Amino acid sequence: MEKTILEVEKLCFSFSKDKQLLNNISFKINEGELCLIVGANGSGKSLLLKCLKGLLKPTSATILVNGEDVSKKSKKRRTLFGLVFQDADSQIVGQTVEKDLRFGMENLNIQESEQIKRIDEVSILLTLKDLLKSRPRILSGGEKRRLAIAGILVMKPQIIFMDEPFANLDYPGVLQVLKSLLLLKESGHTIIIVSHEIEKIAAHADRLLLIEKGYLIANDIPELLLDKLPKHGVFVPTTQGKSVPIEEMTWLKH
């Protein structure tokens, strides 16, 4: 049976009264789903993640996580949701990979033995084990983004948000991050990804949300929305005038 993990109702956001940037956004996500949020530049995707995470205060919204109303509990939302920023570098603070992974856990006073256990688990999952003593500065783009993801995972969030996880990565970097994402999905994590590069990942998504000018204008399984996307500013690869089959929209060969 599918279980709703996140329910968002009528989320609105604006910086000023005269310009509404997110309008009555409502959707539900099931546990273990990989949800892809797409939309043209400036449509409000990053703002939506920041509002959910509690970094920005929605003008109004109802946000339920596992049935609990956390709309007014932005501090709790910050621990329930882990956000991997588009700019992975800005999230990396430790002198070594291991110290970086410890940073957030130390702030939460997590016991030393538990820290070691989580670092061990996450560094195996994201193949960072051989890099634990390395300085983050020397890592490749793909390794840095995996470290940013790992830094979020050790905090054990209920849902992982990723803002443009493939941005600025070369081909091997995209493959590394994509493989990591799919491992996370296989291990039962619920993931919400904002990306306009749907040709890299749409084959693996369970749900696609399309945002335009602050409105959620579609919410369905990806294959039903593909033909609709280009006129809303989202690139979809085509062959002979038709969008390529959904199972080909991945950079990982099955």
User: For binding to Mg ion (CB under 5 A), which residues are involved?
Assistant: 46
- By CB under 6 A, residue 58 contacts ligand ATP: no
Of Mg ion, ligand ATP, none, which one sits near residue 42, judging by CB under 5 to 8 A according to partner kind? ligand ATP
- CB distance 169 to 177 below 8 Å: yes
CA angle (170 as vertex; 167, 171 as ends), nearest 5: 115
* Binder of ligand ATP out of 2, 3, 17, 41 (CB under 6 A): 41
Of Mg ion, ligand ATP, none, which one sits near residue 141, judging by CB under 5 to 8 A according to partner kind? none
Residues in contact with ligand ATP, counted by CB under 6 A, come to a total of: 10
Which residues between 189 and 248 bind ligand ATP (CB under 6 A)? none
Least CB distance from residue 40 to ligand ATP, whole Å?
A: 7
Of ligand ATP, Mg ion, none, which one sits near residue 53, judging by CB under 5 to 8 A according to partner kind? none
- By CB under 6 A, residue 47 contacts ligand ATP: yes
Of ligand ATP, Mg ion, none, which one sits near residue 43, judging by CB under 5 to 8 A according to partner kind? ligand ATP
By beta-carbon proximity to ligand ATP, the closer residue of 153 and 225 is: 225
SS3 for the chain is CCCEEEEEEEEEEEEECCEEEEEEEEEEEECCCEEEEECCCCCCHHHHHHHHHCCCCCCEEEEEECCEECCCCHHHHHHHEEEECCCHHHHCCCCCHHHHHHHHHHHCCCCHHHHHHHHHHHHHHCCCHHHCCCCHHHCCHHHHHHHHHHHHHCCCCCEEEEECCCCCCCHHHHHHHHHHHHHHHHCCCEEEEECCCHHHCHHHCCEEEEEECCEEEEEECHHHHHHHCHHHCCCCCEECCEECCHHHCCCCCC
Least CB distance from residue 55 to ligand ATP, whole Å?
A: 11
- By CB under 6 A, residue 15 contacts ligand ATP: yes
By beta-carbon proximity to ligand ATP, the closer residue of 42 and 245 is: 42
* Binder of ligand ATP out of 11, 33, 34, 43 (CB under 6 A): 43
By beta-carbon proximity to Mg ion, the closer residue of 46 and 123 is: 46
Least CB distance from residue 85 to Mg ion, whole Å?
A: 10
245, with CB counted inside 10 A (0-12, 13-18, 19+), is exposed
Least CB distance from residue 75 to ligand ATP, whole Å?
A: 21
* Binder of ligand ATP out of 8, 21, 83, 160 (CB under 6 A): 21
The residues near 77 (Cβ < 8 Å, ≥ 6 apart) are 52, 53, 54, 63, 65, 70
* Binder of ligand ATP out of 25, 29, 36, 46 (CB under 6 A): 46
Q: Summarize as ranges the residues that interact with ligand ATP (CB under 6 A).
A: 15, 21, 39, 41-47
